[in-house]
């Protein structure tokens, strides 16, 4: 996803001199082409994420469209005060790019497991939160963030199901994408864990259980209409995220349902439930250990349907 996003952003920056990348001493190789072609639009701020964010805000106040770039927890938690007080409060076009969402850097331990970022970032006022689920969505997010006023947050995952974009399809901010139709259950997800969700939907289909799969690439503003439609038209809703269930995508979906007074027949959040993800290993391994793999998603759906 990261490579597709940077490729899309590079094309835009070649035509728009306002676009800049400020990196926290990261992205060597990935950002090399951008830096070589557009040296006046690229800054390495060093391992100083607070300064990186303050610098980006200053540039944005002078009319630039700035993207900060670092590993998940470093571009967010380490400089949360600067994102809130500098960028969000002033409503500037600073876009925080977080690579390695979820367990992407699984072998490096909890300091590199980005599993609370969606909850924290979506709580900030006046921010757009994007978590693309495939390569096509990641590339489309580049133009979307350039064209969207105010602060943006982009969560990029190491994993991806590939390209799920369809011919002539138009990416719309705040509008969910329906990747498969079904009436028995809706699987609602954001991020690269879509690959596990699609695999789960296939297994369910083999059991004659038809799942609607929604990619909620925009976590804020959330597509409330798609959520309510799923609650009314399908047997129940299961949200899936490589993130804590506290305040993330599942929480956002529950808020929409309760505020509108629409109750699905069943509702369940698949995600991290308690404590830190203290185990280390590959992203695939950690998904299985923490119950975020396709087989466990299927079990959760079957359990919900049996209780109903």
Chain segment 241-281, per-residue pLDDT in tens = 999 999 999 999 999 999 999 999 999 999 999 889 999 99
Do 36 and 148 belong to one domain?
Answer: yes
Do 92 and 39 belong to one domain?
Answer: yes
Count of structural domains, the chain:
2
Residue 6: which CATH number? Answer: 3.40.50.970
Mean pLDDT of 121-134: 97
Which of helix, strand or coil describes residue 210?
coil
Do 50 and 80 belong to one domain?
Answer: yes
Residue 297: which CATH number? Answer: 3.40.50.920
pLDDT at 308 over 80: no
Query: How far is the C-alpha of 234 from the C-alpha of 223, rounded, in Å?
Result: 17
Look up the pTM and report it: 0.96
**Whole domain around residue 37: which residue ranges?**
2-156
Mean pLDDT of the chain: 96
pLDDT at 223 over 90: yes
**Would you say residue 140 lies in a domain?**
yes
Mean pLDDT of 85-113: 96
Do 132 and 206 belong to one domain?
Answer: no
Do 133 and 258 belong to one domain?
Answer: no
How much is the pLDDT for 196? 97
- Cross-strand partners of 130: 154, 218
Q: How many CB atoms lie within 10 A of CB 157?
A: 29
Q: What sign does the dihedral 55-16-172-102 (CA atoms) show?
A: negative
Question: How far from 80 is each of 26, 50, 207, 253, 304, CA to CA, in Å?
Answer: 19, 8, 45, 24, 37
Mean pLDDT of 238-243: 98
Which of helix, strand or coil describes residue 182?
coil
* Residue 23 parent element (H or E): strand 19-23
Place of tokens 């009319």: 63
DSSP annotation of 78: G
Q: Which two tokens stand for residue 96?
A: 């925080």
């Amino acid at each position: 996803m990261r490579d597709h996003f940077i490729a899309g952003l590079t094309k835009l920056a070649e035509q728009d001199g306002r676009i800049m990348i400020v990196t926290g001493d990261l992205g060597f190789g990935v950002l090399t082409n951008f830096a070589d072609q557009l040296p006046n639009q690229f800054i390495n701020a060093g391992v100083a994420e607070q300064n990186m964010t303050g610098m980006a805000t200053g540039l944005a106040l002078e009319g630039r469209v700035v993207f900060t770039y670092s590993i998940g927890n470093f571009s967010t938690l380490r400089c949360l005060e600067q994102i809130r007080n500098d960028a969000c409060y002033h409503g500037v076009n600073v876009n925080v790019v977080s690579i390695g969402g979820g367990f992407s850097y699984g072998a490096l331990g909890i300091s590199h497991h980005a599993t609370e970022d969606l909850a924290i970032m979506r709580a900030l006022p006046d921010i757009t939160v994007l978590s693309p689920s495939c390569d096509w969505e990641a590339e489309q997010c580049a133009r979307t963030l350039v064209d969207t006023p105010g602060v943006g947050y982009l969560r990029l995952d190491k994993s991806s199901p590939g390209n799920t974009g369809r011919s002539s399809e138009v990416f719309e901010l705040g509008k969910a994408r329906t990747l498969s139709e079904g009436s028995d259950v809706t699987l609602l997800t954001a991020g690269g864990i879509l690959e596990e969700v699609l695999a789960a939907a296939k297994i369910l289909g083999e059991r004659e259980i038809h799942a609607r799969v929604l990619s909620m690439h925009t976590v804020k503003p959330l597509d409330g209409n798609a959520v309510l439609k799923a609650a009314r038209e399908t047997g129940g809703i299961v949200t899936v995220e490589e993130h804590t269930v506290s305040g993330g995508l599942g929480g956002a979906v529950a808020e929409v349902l309760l505020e509108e007074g629409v109750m699905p027949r069943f509702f369940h959040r698949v995600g991290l439930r308690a404590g830190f993800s203290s185990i280390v290993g590959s992203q695939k391994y950690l998904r299985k250990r923490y119950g975020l793999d396709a087989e466990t998603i299927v079990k959760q759906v079957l359990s919900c349907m049996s209780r109903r």
